[in-house]
Chains A and B, each alone.
Chain A
Amino acid sequence: MLLSIFKVLVFPGLLFLGTYSFLLEFIDRKVYARMQNRKGPPWYQPMADMLKLIGKKVIVPRNAQKFVFAALPTVSLAAVCAAFLCIPVFGSTAITAYSGDLVAVLYLLTIPTLCHFLAGYNSHEVYSTIGAFRTLTQMFAYEVPLFLAFLSPAILAGSWSISGIAAFYMAHPLYTLINIPAFLVSLLASQSKLERSPFDAPEAETEIVGGALVEYSGRYLAFFRATAITELTAMASVLAALFLPFFTGSVWLDFALYLVKTFSIVLVMVLLRATMARIRIDQTLKFFWSILTPIAMAQMILNLLLRGGLGL
């Protein structure tokens, strides 16, 4: 019992999530800066930013509903943390694993996006409304390919639990190669979900000032920023668990492998962020629907056929 509480709260649960998220955020910003020939922030910068934001004054717009305004950041952070608990970190089984937890994780990870939209809409201000609607439009673009790409390895593995999928691929490592198109699709779709360049039209600083969160300040903004960085960790972990399932059986070695895998995925995401311009929201829609969705659908059909054909 005590061990479970320790696992959930400290390691590999929430405290680990917080620390690792700060580390990944630092890596993200430092590598991004070095790619731009700049120095980049020191290692404690994400923590310092969070502490500074928590200490600032909160101003709630007159037309916004106060309770919703205050609740949204907390709800979105809680959703991401709950999702993280189902992802294998220490070993090939998560802290809580049950059949269908992949679907639960996907739903829980959608909540921050909806909270983002509601935050913008609730602020009743021109720029935040435009940002909120762009968030929703972008969700309309990436949701289908993302879900298709995440569910393809599940179909091949015959299990709806992330830990079950990991166990399957541990037994049959070569089948991982079949899922490479889905991996690429989900990388790009994750980049769009996290609203990072080139898909950061909802938060375009030069067009709509700050997007949906323009009226947020103080500790509420701190929580939204915390959601953003924990979401990065969570998405990287899901990608690592589904598409890079190389496990050795020894929990400590698997943990080290987990760190390496998530680190590399974040590096790839930083490369995407640094080398491309921001594309417009209509171009995002076109890109996702005309290029990524067909690939994801093809992958899904292939996996269905293989599952039936291989008789697994």
Chain B
Amino acid sequence: MSDYREKNKVVVQIGPQHPSLKEPGSFKITLDGEKVERAVIEIGYNHRGIEKACESRNYIQALYIIERVCGICSHAHTSCFCQAFEEIAGLEVPRRAHYIRGIVGELERLHSHLLWLGVASHEIGFDTLFMYTWRDRELVLDLLARIGGNRVNYGVNTYGGVRRDLEPELMQDILTVCDLLEEKLKYYADLALTETTLIARLRGIGTLLPEDVRKYSAVGPVARAAGIMDDVRITEPYGVFREIAVNGITDDHCDVYGRTLVRVKEMLEAIRLIRIMVKEIPDGPISVRPPRKLPVGESLSRVEAPRGEDIHYIRSNGGESPDRVRVRAPSEANWHGMSHMLEGFQLADVPIIIAAIDPCYSCTDRAIHLIGDGINQLTDWAQIRALSIEQYKARGIDPGSIKIREF
């Protein structure tokens, strides 16, 4: 860690490893005392090569990979991808499938925003709220595990519809969980409006005014906190939202506090939508049979992920594998304004400003993972294992007989 001292300025490097960052990202902050003067942001540490991987796999395998772009907004990504596929193929998805996609999507919005609330409170040192919100999140995750089989990356979507149906008892349990959560969410909304230390830490920082939102093309709760109604469910209704109207939530604070309020209110709105969808879900088939090869064509599709507008692009040249897949996750759009949002505020505000755009670094980067960096000594897996066995032998334990799976 180097620090340049020109006058009184110190360069603090936050990341790539830092307790406040849940995923790696490098922020070189030039400080003048406690005030942030300049912030240089480097992301790309989570780049995994997803788009290239999709080009060499068929569509079913590509769907599996797209789901794993992100753990928290996985359903939004697959919904968008399936929508793009269905547009090119000209498939008509049954109504029941749309409703199931909508229910799972809103449950995902609930769990994502609860996670965000917990992480944001942890960043400002309010661990009690962190524990409470994550305890409530467990209710949603258990439901999702029952619906899809997995707490995250639940493979509910497929081309032409959904893979799993919702039985009546499950729908009853969904309504019970909604009732339980609504009580707690009203408490959090009240807390956000009245707790002094919370407001003191969140108010007036990370400001992004409406003209800056347009300039840096921020999406999702970041844009909605500046009073701009930017919700794909309203501007371009898809799926179940062609039949059910969504009340868009906006706020006028333009800062981190506004984003908090928008997310809490969106959770209450999600509960209202889930209740309507569970009540009015029609009977019928849950999927239609998709073709194996897509006709030649391209499509751009959008859904409202918990973090904002998610755009997927598929180009097909008639084969079994896509010709080009492109994922523009909402977090990517929100990074552009980050330097602007950080400058002028204090070092203590940096973690919460970064957390307030709800960054999903995995969604943003999709590159190739490297082992070793060429500067220090490179050791491969076998050498590391031999070294550790040696160290344990020196202490009298012999782990050499343990068999581990080869990767």
A–B touch (CB < 8 A): the answer is yes
CB distance from B231 to the nearest CB of A (A): 29
Quick one: CB contact mask for A28-69 with B, threshold 8 Å, 1 for yes? 000000011110000000000000000000000000000000
Complex contact A283–B200 (CB within 8 A): yes
* Residue interface mask B87-102, A partner, CB < 8 A = 1: 0000000000000000
Q: How far is the CA of A201 from the CA of B346 in the complex (A)?
A: 12
Task: Give the total number of A-B pairs whose CB atoms are below 8 A apart.
Answer: 77
Tell me the smallest distance from the CB of A63 to a CB of chain B, in Å.
12
Query: CB of A25 within 8 A of chain B?
Result: no
A232-290: which residues lie under 8 A (CB-CB) from chain B?
274-283
- Determine, out of B37-45, B335-343, B348-356, the stretch whose residues face the partner at the interface: B348-356
B197 CB contacts on chain A under 8 angstroms? 198, 276-279
Chain B residues with CB under 8 Å of A201's CB are: 348
State A241–B279 Cα separation when bound (angstroms): 64
Q: What is the interface size of chain B, counting residues whose CB is below 8 A from a CB of the partner?
A: 32
Q: Is the CB of A130 within 8 A of B12?
A: yes
Query: Which residues in B have their C-beta under 8 angstroms from that of A209?
Result: 18-19
List chain B residues, Cβ under 8 A from A281. 34, 348
For B20, the chain A residues whose CB sits under 8 A away are 206-207
- Contacting pair A207 B348 (CB below 8 A): yes
A213 to chain B, nearest CB (A): 14
Q: Given the complex of chains A and B, what is the CA–CA distance between A200 and B135 in angstroms?
A: 25
A241 to B198, CA, bound (A): 34
Closest to A201 in B: B348
Contact B126 A278 (CB under 8 A): yes
A143 within 8 A of B: no
Q: In the complex, what distance in Å separates the CA atom of A276 from the CA atom of B12?
A: 28
Residues of A within 8 A of B19 (CB): 205-206, 209
Q: Does A97 contact B (CB under 8 A)?
A: no
**Known A-B contacts A206-B19, A207-B348; A198 and B131 likewise in contact (beta carbons under 8 Å):** no
Query: Which chain B residues lie closer than 8 Å to A127 at the CB level?
Result: 12
Q: By the criterion CB–CB under 8 Å, are A207 and B201 in contact?
A: no
A198 near B125: Cβ-Cβ < 8 Å: yes
> Count of A residues near B, CB < 8 Å?
28
User: Is B122's CB within 8 Å of the partner chain A?
Assistant: yes
Scoring A residues 81 to 110 as 1 if CB is less than 8 Å from chain B, else 0, what string do you get? 000000000000000000000000000000
Are the C-beta atoms of B346 and A280 separated by less than 8 Å?
yes
Is A204 close to B, CB under 8 A?
yes
- Can you name 30 A-B residue pairings with CB atoms under 8 Å? A35-B128, A37-B135, A125-B1, A126-B1, A126-B3, A126-B12, A130-B347, A197-B127, A198-B125, A205-B19, A205-B125, A206-B351, A207-B20, A207-B347, A207-B348, A207-B350, A207-B351, A276-B126, A276-B197, A277-B121, A277-B125, A277-B129, A277-B195, A277-B197, A277-B198, A279-B200, A280-B201, A280-B348, A282-B346, A283-B200
> Which residues of B are at the interface with A, using a C-beta cutoff of 8 A?
1, 3, 10, 12-13, 18-20, 34, 121-129, 131-132, 135, 195, 197-198, 200-201, 346-351
- The 5 lowest CB-CB distance pairs between A and B, nearest first, are A278-B125, A277-B126, A206-B20, A36-B131, A277-B197
